Structure 1
Amino acid sequence: MAWETGMDWQGWQESWDRQQEWYLPDREERFRVMLDSVAAHAGDRPRVLDLACGTGSITRRLLERFPGAAGTGVDLDPALLTIARGTFEGDERVTFVQADLTGADWPAALPYASYDAVVTATALHWLPEEPLRTLYGQLAGVLRPGGVFLNADHMPDPSTPRINAAHEAFEKARQEREKAEGVLDWAGWWREVAAAPELADAARERFALLGDPADGHDGEDHYHAPDWHARVLRESGFAEARTAWASLTDALVLALR
C-alpha cells in the first residue's frame, strides 16, 4: 500500500492542520478541552473512537497526551485514511476502519465492542438530521456506561444576526490576509492531494464517493445549535449532555452515557 513507501505523511498531516486552522483559528483550544474531558471521564489510558477521523488529527493529539491510550479511527474518505494510515504505520495502539457512518452495521467493523470515549470534530454537520439522530443512538450502544461523547463542530446561533455578521466580516478579512500569504483553503488543499503521486489513486476514489471539493461538489452542510445536539443526545440514550466549550460559530457538546 502507499503508506508503506516512506512518503512524507507527517508533511501531509501538517498541511492538513494548516488548512483546517485557516477555517478554525481556535482549533487547538477545542482539542485541549476535548482531551481534558476525556481525561476527566476516562482516565489516562482510555480506549477512544475517533469518529470521521480524517487524517487522524485528534488521535495524534490523544496519543501524544496519553501514551497508554488505544485509538480507533473511522472514516469513509480513502484519501484522508491513506494519510492517517501512513502517519501511524507500525503503531499498534491505532486501528483505522473505512466505513459509512450512515450505514446500519458500521459498529460491527470496530475492533472493540465498547469504548471509554468517542470524539469527533468538524464532521457531523455533513449528516442530515435523521441520519445524525440514528448515529447518536448507535453511539449510545458503542460507549460503555459512564463513557463520554464529544462533538466539536459548527453550531451557529441564528438568534444573534448582528453579532454573527460582525464576526463573519472579521473572519473573512483574516482569511483573506492569510490566503494572500499562501495558506490553502479546502479546495486548494484537495487540488494538491489530487496532484500528488502518492495520493492520486485514493483521491480519485474519494471524488467518486464524496465529490471533488475543487469543483464545488462536496456535500451539503446541516447545522444545528448546541442545545439541539444536547437534547437529541439525551433522547438517544445519553444520561446527560451540555455545551463544554463555545466560540461565536462553533461549540463542543459533551454527552455522558
Structure 2
Amino acid sequence: MAAAELWVERWERQQRRYAIDREERFTVIADVVEYVTQGQKRPLVVDLGCGPGSLAARLAERLPRAEVVAVDMDPLLLELARTHHSSAARYVDTVIGEDGWTEALALGRALDVAVSTTALHYLPEAALRRTYTQLAALLRPGGALINGDHLPQRDAVAAGLATHVGHRRAERQQAYANEDWESWWTAVADEPELAEPLAERSRRQRTPGDGDSDGYGAGNGLSVSDHTALLLQAGFAHVVPVWQFGDSYVLVAIR
C-alpha cells in the first residue's frame, strides 16, 4: 500500500509536465459527467485508459453513487490503481479497440458516460473509428463520450501558437520542475514490490509511449475536426469542445 501511494503520487507530479492545467481538465470532465448523469440513480461510467486510477478516483469522489469501470492494458499501472484506488472502480485489463474488448467490460446495462484522458490519441485512425462506433452502441441515448486529450492543430501557424501558449503556462506553473516520463519508469524499475507487474509489462511490450520523452508518444495526429468527423460518422448526434488550453482539449460527444 505504501509503495503504491508513493508511485501514484510521483505519477501525478510527473503528469503535470505534460497535461496543461491537468487538475482543471479533470474537474471539467467531472462537471460534464455530473451534467449528463443528472437524475440517474447509479450512473455507469467507463474510464478508457485509466492508468493508475487518477481520473477514476476523482470521479468516484465527486459522484459517489456512480459505478466506475476503469480500463487499461498496462499491468503495472493497473496494479497501482487496484492497490491505491481499490474502491474507486472495477478495473479491467484489456486493449481498447481490439477484438472482444467491449465484452471484457462486462457492463450488463447501457453505458451512461465514457471518459478518457490522454489515451485515445494513441489509437490508429481505423482503430479509433471502430472504437467510436462501439462506444456509440454501448451508450444510452443522451449518454456521452468525454475525451480530455492533446489534439494538434492542422495549420502550422496555429499549432506553433498553441504549443507556445501551453509551454508558457507550464513554465508559470513550474510543471517542468517535476520528473519526466522516462525518469519515472526508470525509477519504477528499481522498486522490488513492482517487479512482477513490470516484468509482465515488458513481456507484453504493448504500452504506447514507451521510450518517448514527452510521455504521450507521437499519437495519430488527428485534430479536433478529425475527431469530430469520426464521432459524427460513428453515430453521435452532437460534438463540442467545452474546454481548451493550448492543444489540450475536453471534447464531448453526445449520443
- Range into which the TM-score falls when normalised by the shorter chain: 0.7 to 0.9
Where does structure 1 lack aligned partners over 5 or more consecutive residues? 1-5
How far apart are the structure 2 equivalents of 1:214 and 1:126? 12
Task: Report what 1:47 is aligned to.
Answer: 44
SS at match of 1:199: helix
TM-score (norm 2): 0.87
After TM superposition, give the deviation of residue 170 of structure 1 in Å: 3.2
Amino acid at match of 2:249: A
After TM superposition, give the deviation of residue 104 of structure 1 in Å: 2.0
- Is contact 2:16-2:175 (8 Å) kept? no
Task: Report what 2:240 is aligned to.
Answer: 242
Amino acid at match of 1:52: G
Q: Which moved more, 1:56-65 or 1:40-49?
A: 40-49
- Is contact 1:244-1:252 (8 Å) kept? yes
- Is contact 1:74-1:97 (8 Å) kept? yes
- Is contact 1:48-1:69 (8 Å) kept? yes
- Is contact 2:208-2:217 (8 Å) kept? no
Measured at CA, do residues 193 and 138 of structure 1 come closer, stay the same or move farther in structure 2, by a change above 3 Å?
A: same
Over the aligned positions, Cα root-mean-square deviation in angstroms equals 2.4
Aligned with 2:116 (options 107, 117, 120): 120
After TM superposition, give the deviation of residue 138 of structure 1 in Å: 0.8
SS at match of 1:235: helix
How far apart are the structure 2 equivalents of 1:116 and 1:95? 16
How far apart are the structure 1 equivalents of 2:172 and 2:241? 27
Measured at CA, do residues 237 and 38 of structure 1 come closer, stay the same or move farther in structure 2, by a change above 3 Å?
A: same
How far apart are the structure 1 equivalents of 2:202 and 2:25? 29
Task: Report what 1:28 is aligned to.
Answer: 23
Measured at CA, do residues 211 and 156 of structure 1 come closer, stay the same or move farther in structure 2, by a change above 3 Å?
A: closer
How far apart are the structure 2 equivalents of 1:99 and 1:156? 27
After TM superposition, give the deviation of residue 68 of structure 1 in Å: 1.2
TM-score (norm 1): 0.87
Paired residues in the alignment total 247
How far apart are the structure 2 equivalents of 1:78 and 1:48? 21
Q: State the identity as a percent.
A: 36
Where does structure 2 lack aligned partners over 5 or more consecutive residues? none
Measured at CA, do residues 137 and 188 of structure 1 come closer, stay the same or move farther in structure 2, by a change above 3 Å?
A: same
